Amino acid sequence: MSNPTGPDQPDQPTDSDHEPATEVFAPADPAEQDPSAQSQEERRFTAPGFDAGSTQIINRPTEPATEVFGTGGHAETEAFPAQPVAPQKIPPRGDAPKPPGKKRSWGWVIAIVLVIAALAAIAIVGTILLTRGSSPSASQEDQVRDTIQNFDVAVQNGDLATLRSITCGTTRDSYVGYSDKSWEQTHARVAAAKQYPVVASIDQVVINGDHAEANVTTFMASAPQTRSTRSFDLQFRDDQWKICQAPSS
């Protein structure tokens, strides 16, 4: 079959004549490459573009080999020798030692307690002595006051027996001289006229051994608004205080 272009025209280039020749890279020398890196190396290819002249092969950069740590080899034992650790005892919470506290000086504490006890004993003894010294005086004064009050009530009520028992001296003699009948008549007239004295208050009591004097405020029953100050003389006889001289009306 004849060539349509004629014998004088050159042959038309085919598609295979326009493709660039495939570039082949020779593998590197195995002695120069790391065996582990060579086995892990990947080859990446870039797709040729429309204007690419040839297919390019991009080699992945060599990555360092993965370092593997041994778990108990002989070399590792020599590099980091194991050191013996003594066993530790952990006490339970209840037996845990308490933090050291401040030590108290028991000598000072005992001394302070003894001083307080001594002061308390002195106070008690002083109170007893003061009570012993003042109680009889106070008791005697109360007895004097009681005698005066009993005398005042007996006069108002006409109690002749009481008047005789709590009086002494000339005062008692005046009550002893009355008979019961004459006393009743006399007291009836005095009570009707309100001519008997009344003790309004006992103002002061002075005791000197077996003798006592009391200042009182009195008034006549017929004139209570008229007050006057009088005194009672008393003596301690037969284990009781008695009025030996009563104020005159």
CATH number, domain of 156, equals: 3.10.450.50
Separation of alpha carbons 224 and 219, rounded Å: 5
Most confident of 5-14, 57-66, 67-76: 57-66
Whether residue 99 lies inside any domain: the answer is no
Query: Domain check: are 147 and 240 in the same one?
Result: yes
> What are the tens digits of pLDDT across the range 179-237?
999 999 999 999 999 999 999 999 999 999 999 999 999 999 999 999 999 999 999 99
Could you give the CA distance from residue 170 to residue 176 in angstroms, rounded to a whole number? 10
Predicted pLDDT of residue 111: 84
Highest mean pLDDT (candidates 38-52, 65-79, 202-216): 202-216
> Considering the domain boundaries, does residue 43 fall inside one?
yes
d(CA 19, CA 61): 29
Q: Is residue 121 part of a domain?
A: no
Higher pLDDT, 92 or 44: 92
Number of domains the chain is built from:
2
Determine, yes or no, domain membership for 160: yes
Residue 127 within a domain: no
In a domain, 110, yes or no: no
When pLDDT is cut at 50, 70 and 90, the band that residue 9 belongs to is very low
Q: How far apart are CA 157 and CA 244, in angstroms?
A: 20
Q: Is the pTM here over 0.85, yes or no? A: no
Assigned domain for 69 exists: no
Residue 48 CA: distances (Å) to CA of 28, 55, 65, 145: 24, 6, 32, 144
Predicted confidence at residue 166, as pLDDT, reads: 95
Check residue 9 and report its DSSP letter: S
Q: Of the residues 17, 44, 59, which one is the last residue of a structural domain? A: 59
**How many whole angstroms separate alpha carbon 73 and alpha carbon 24?**
46
Tell me which of 172 and 90 has the higher pLDDT: 172
d(CA 112, CA 106): 10
126 is a domain residue = no
Question: What pLDDT is attached to residue 95?
Answer: 54
Give the pLDDT confidence score for residue 18 in this predicted structure: 52
Cβ-contact 228, 210 below 8 angstroms: no
- What's the domain range around 37? 27-59
Structure tokens at 198: 């009344």
**Mean pLDDT of all residues in 57-64:** 59
208 is written with which tokens? 């000197």
CB burial of residue 246 (10 Å; 0-12, 13-18, 19+): buried
* Paired residues of 72 in beta bridges: none
Of 59, 79, 105, which residue sits at a domain end?
59
For residue 151, the one-letter residue type is F
